[in-house]
A and B are shown apart, each in its own frame.
Chain A
Amino acid sequence: MFDKILFGVGAASGLYLVRNLYTMLMVLPDEAAQGMIYRIMFFHIPSWWTCFICFFIAGAASGYSIAKKNFRADSLAVAATEVGLAFTFVGLATGMIWAKIIWGIWWTWDARLTWAFITALTYAAYLMMRNMIPDPNERMRVSGALNVFSFASVVICYKAIDWWRTQHPGAVMSFRTGGGNIDPAMEGMTYQNLFAFLMLCLVLVTVRLRQEESLRTLEGMRRLAFTRQRIAVLG
């Protein structure tokens, strides 16, 4: 039953994304200054918000896993981080393609972009570090601490456009500016794509969480098989 619900949410998110694609291409007009390229923002902004939400969940789950020695929370942290990283790459790629047209360059080392890059590297390091620590308790503690502290880079990345003058555009959404910087229809489209991304994200995190739990079972069984073999050899 749960699998069917999961499949249903995944299919609904796919259909919603296709429906949004139709609206952004066929209904919404071109932006006055940027032309049609601005539509990339309907993927760029929601993908960053989705990854920030994922990293927040991962940080909270890591903190809980360390405090309570809870392996399931540790698995949730891994799942949310990995899915968040996928959305980070979507954000980076779409941003670079937009920049090539609007700025004439693929990349620049301004505060927002640099912190976005650091955020991606930090979370990739977290996932790599986990593979290097064989002991599950040690892995949960050390990588969990890194995950909690990594959230600082997300906060800096989010606030970079307020704290420094950057080449990256400032905030446009009305909840940050009080309105007037973006057309309501375009802002609505951004939220709709965010909703579709969050549905997809929920499905991906759940699937990845299950895999991580299976991996833990597999590790336990391997340890059991190894112990049995040793007993057989010694006895």
Chain B
Amino acid sequence: MDQRNFTYMFYGFAAAWLILALYVVSLVSRGRKLADQLETLKRTLSQEKG
């Protein structure tokens, strides 16, 4: 029971950290994509203006 208890406690901690870490990674990746899209669109608009 104690060994199982420890294993599942580890799973619980790992799940909490992993979910939050995955969310942070997804935020960073979406932020990068957004910045790229904004930059591309700005360039396109300024070219059209010129």
Contacts and interface: CB of A to CB of B under 8 A. Distances in A.
B19 A93 contact: yes
A204 B19 contact: no
Q: Is the interface of B mostly helix, strand, loop or mixed?
A: helix
A44 B13 CA distance: 10
Contact of A94 (B5, B12, B31, B37): B12
Interface residues of A, number: 33
B38 A86 contact: no
A98 interface: yes
A225 B2 contact: no
B35 to A, nearest CB: 8
Interface residues of B, number: 28
A16 to B, nearest CB: 14
Contacts of B30: 211
Interface in A32-90: 35-37, 39-40, 43-44, 47, 83, 86, 89-90
A51 B27 CA distance: 17
Q: Is the interface of A mostly helix, strand, loop or mixed?
A: helix
A210 to B, nearest CB: 8
Contact of A93 (B9, B16, B24, B48): B16
A221 B27 contact: no
Interface stretch (A134-142, A181-189, A212-220): A212-220
Contact of B19 (A36, A90, A208, A224): A90
Interface string B1-39: 110111011011101100110011001001100110110
A59 B47 CA distance: 42
Contact of A36 (B2, B11, B42, B48): B2
The 4 closest A-B pairs by CB, nearest first: A40-B12, A93-B15, A43-B16, A86-B23
29 contacts: A21-B13, A35-B1, A36-B2, A36-B6, A36-B9, A37-B5, A39-B13, A40-B8, A43-B12, A83-B23, A86-B23, A90-B16, A93-B15, A94-B16, A98-B8, A98-B12, A100-B8, A101-B8, A204-B23, A207-B31, A211-B27, A211-B31, A214-B34, A215-B34, A218-B37, A218-B38, A221-B42, A224-B45, A225-B45
Interface of B: 1-2, 4-6, 8-9, 11-13, 15-16, 19-20, 23-24, 27, 30-31, 34-35, 37-38, 41-42, 44-45, 48
Interface of A: 21, 35-37, 39-40, 43-44, 47, 83, 86, 89-90, 93-94, 97-98, 100-101, 200, 204, 207-208, 211, 214-215, 217-218, 221-222, 224-225, 228
